Amino acid sequence: MAETASRSREQVAEGFIRIAVENMANAIKEISVARGYDLSDHALVSFGGAGGQHACAIADTLSISRILIHPLAGLLSAYGIGIADLRLLRESSIEANLPEQGSKDRTPLRIESSGESICVIKVRTRRSCWMILRWNN
């Protein structure tokens, strides 16, 4: 890639880092500014394996003057995923006739699974149903 762009490998690598920093800063900005926060009034909390490598550049991009880095920041993401509950969200579209109003038919609608398998260590089950209904009258 460096040869075709007539740049050194270091310049190409720096370009990739700049893009990564801009993407991370924009993600923070989108959420924070949408909620009405002035980022310069807050500290940036760095975590994850590469968090410390990018924290200063992200803070500069967002005009943040304080950065908090926990001594075990590189382990926080791994620790969090290790203790997090396993969640599996599935979405499926179905088209089915619903029983007439007042009908005694309580047959549940059946939705077939795609046959995927997953290794489950800990399970907490909660069922919910979102429906968008359209009547043809």
pLDDT in tens, 96-111: 555 565 666 655 545 4
DSSP string, 32-57: HHHTT--GGGSEEEE-STTHHHHHHH
Residue of 23, 78, 74 lying closest to 51 (CA atoms) = 74
Tell me the per-residue pLDDT of 9-59, one tens digit each, with 9 for 90 and over. Answer: 999 999 999 999 999 999 999 999 888 999 988 999 998 888 888 999 999
Is the pTM for the entire model greater than 0.85? no
